[in-house]
Structure 1
Amino acid sequence: MSMQESSGVALWRQVADGIERGIADGRFPAGEKLPGEMEIAETYRVNRHTVRRAIAALAERGLVRAERGS
């Protein structure tokens, strides 16, 4: 899945939205770990730091819990 910056939506937001959809549709079940940053970055074809920003935004909203080293 390739992200498009030309859509007017920041790349980190597009990644966060994709992860949120995955949570909603059951691809990422509650209580289970998300794939690692590098795997998510490869899936969305973005930089790992973009993934970090997306995860941070989801954590701020209480949708995920970010644990250092996990």
Structure 2
Amino acid sequence: MRGSSLGRPKSLGASGYSAASINDVIVCGGLTKGGLFHHFPSKQSIAQQLVVRWSRSTTDLVVERTARGVRG
């Protein structure tokens, strides 16, 4: 669930975090309200998980490029 529901964070990028409602998240993720709240107790917890996921992917990219000697 967490992987699929967080796969499209850019879908809400146009309106931004403050303007996005839980219903917007549900529609973008193709979820049910019960399914969403089973994994995430609040909109803030979704945002926190997105930041964690982004940080990990960025770190992985830097480590990979450093290991290959790629700059920039």
Structure-2-length-normalised TM-score: 0.38
Q: TM-score, normalised by structure 1?
A: 0.38
Bigger-Rg structure (1/2)? 2
Considering fraction of residues, name the structure with more helix: 2
**Higher relative contact order, chain-length normalized (CA < 8 Å, sep 6+):** 1
